[in-house]
Amino acid sequence: MKAKVLVCAVLAAMASSGLMACEAPEVKTFEVVRDTAAVQEETAPRDGEEEVLQAKTQAQNKVKADRRILQQVTEAVLEQFEGRGEAVLMDARTGALLAQVGGEEPHGVGSTFKPISTLAALASPELGLKPDAQMNCKGYTKFGGRHFHCWKRDGHGEVGLDDALAQSCNSVSFELASHAHYDDIVTFARRFGLGEAPGPGLAPGGKLLSQKDIPKFVEGYKLLLSVGQHPFEQNLLQMARAYGVLARGHLVQVHRPGDDWDKPTPVELDPEALAMVRKGLVDAVAGPKGTAHWAASKRVSVAGKTGTVWTGQNYRKPSADNDQIYDDAWFAGYAPADEPEVVVVVRVKGGVSGGKTAAPVARELLEAWHEVR
Ligand SMILES: [Zn+2]
């Protein structure tokens, strides 16, 4: 018996011109055939232990078959990026990796770090900030004689902290960080497992450097840190683990099937602050001004955050009419939004933006996960 899992893959408009930033992604549909022979139910009556054993084996076979499907889908969806796309799907409850393509090389994570830098600001007694605080974005923040710009040059105006996350306002993150200590943000981020290996036997990932370890440190670095830029780099597995904390309030050990792992440990976070951040992540996907709306799905509720990291790299083939520089596009999030079971992190080197390039990929992967869950 075969069951078909239909997977709709969104192709970001990688094909043609510099106008692609203004175009909606193209959509193509393809199919993954799921061989369920291994997971068919045995109908013959059995007794006692043998029955239990049979049920266990069936359950294990189903998990294996589902993982194979998700891995195939992930590879297929990322094919369009010709080796530049990476993704991780992780069970939010246990840390088990459900699918992985790449994801072990650390990079700047961009605005996917904002939920954590926002929580760090809210945890600071010096700031005395409340989760319902209103902030103002006038398009830039002045700090140390420099202007740090929001991506929206004419400003977001008055926004709540949740709106700032949904719309990925840089000025609010800069403003919060300008009142913080660099090392306090770093120390707070460690609660999310950032800066350490995401699980036993896995690549160490990116470090979290303290101020004293950064050559030629300048205070402006704390503003860059708050939006996940230099000198802060993490890999996809580390970010999956961090989003597991946002999703479920506990720190998992990321692990591959068959590897040893310890149970998740609770992370102490202010419930009101966490609720505000989660609302921001829901609104980023489902809200009217959310930057992650291409991650929205009719099949499963998604919460998450985009990131677009300027790299200075030109990933496209050089030609006379192409001198554009492309960024690293990120999406990190989880589903279902209200009772998260899975975390997804996507990074595409040389994408248009997190919203246009990585978010639609995340949606594809979460819909595939939803089919086999
Ligand atoms: Zn702004």
* Ligand 1 centroid distance, CA of 164 (Å): 7
DSSP 196: S
Give residue-wise pLDDT tens across range 130-169: 999 999 999 999 999 999 999 999 999 999 999 999 999 9
Which helix or strand (DSSP H or E) is residue 8 part of?
Answer: strand 2-11
User: Looking at residue 9, what is its pLDDT?
Assistant: 38
* Ligand 1 geometric centre to CA of 223 (Å): 14
* C-alpha 25 – ligand 1 centre gap (Å): 25
Ligand 1: distance of its center to the CA of 155 in Å?
5
Amino acid identity for residue 86 in this structure: E
Q: Which pLDDT tens digits describe the chain residue by residue (373 residues)? A: 333 333 443 333 223 323 233 334 444 444 444 544 444 444 555 567 888 899 889 988 888 888 999 999 999 999 999 999 999 999 999 999 999 999 999 999 999 999 999 999 999 998 999 999 999 999 999 999 999 999 999 999 999 999 999 999 999 999 999 999 999 999 999 999 999 999 999 999 999 999 999 999 999 999 999 999 877 899 999 999 999 999 999 999 999 988 889 999 999 999 999 999 999 999 999 999 999 999 999 999 999 999 999 776 655 555 555 555 578 999 999 999 999 999 999 999 988 889 999 999 999 999 999 999 8
Copy the structure tokens of residue 334: 């989880």
Query: How many A from CA of 163 to the centre of ligand 1?
Result: 10
Distance 131 CA to ligand 1 centre (A): 18
Q: How far is the CA of 362 from the centre of ligand 1 (A)?
A: 25
- Ligand 1 centroid vs 151 CA: distance in angstroms? 7
As given in the structure block, the two tokens for residue 64 are 């294996």
Distance in angstroms (rounded) separating the CA atoms of residues 280 and 117: 13
Q: Which two tokens stand for residue 330?
A: 């990120």
Whole-number Å distance, alpha carbon 344 to ligand 1 midpoint, is 26
Q: Provide the pLDDT for residue 351.
A: 86
pTM: 0.86
Q: How far is the CA of 136 from the centre of ligand 1 (A)?
A: 8
CA of 92 to the centre of ligand 1 (A): 31
Which of 232, 127, 210 is closest to 175 using CA atoms? 127
CA 137 to ligand 1 center in whole angstroms:
5
| Residue 311 burial (C-beta neighbours within 10 Å; 0-12, 13-18, 19+) | middle
The CATH architecture of the domain made up of 2-38+61-372 is 3-Layer(aba) Sandwich (3.40)
Q: What is the pLDDT of residue 120?
A: 97
pLDDT at 329: 95
| Segment holding 248, helix H or strand E | helix 236-248
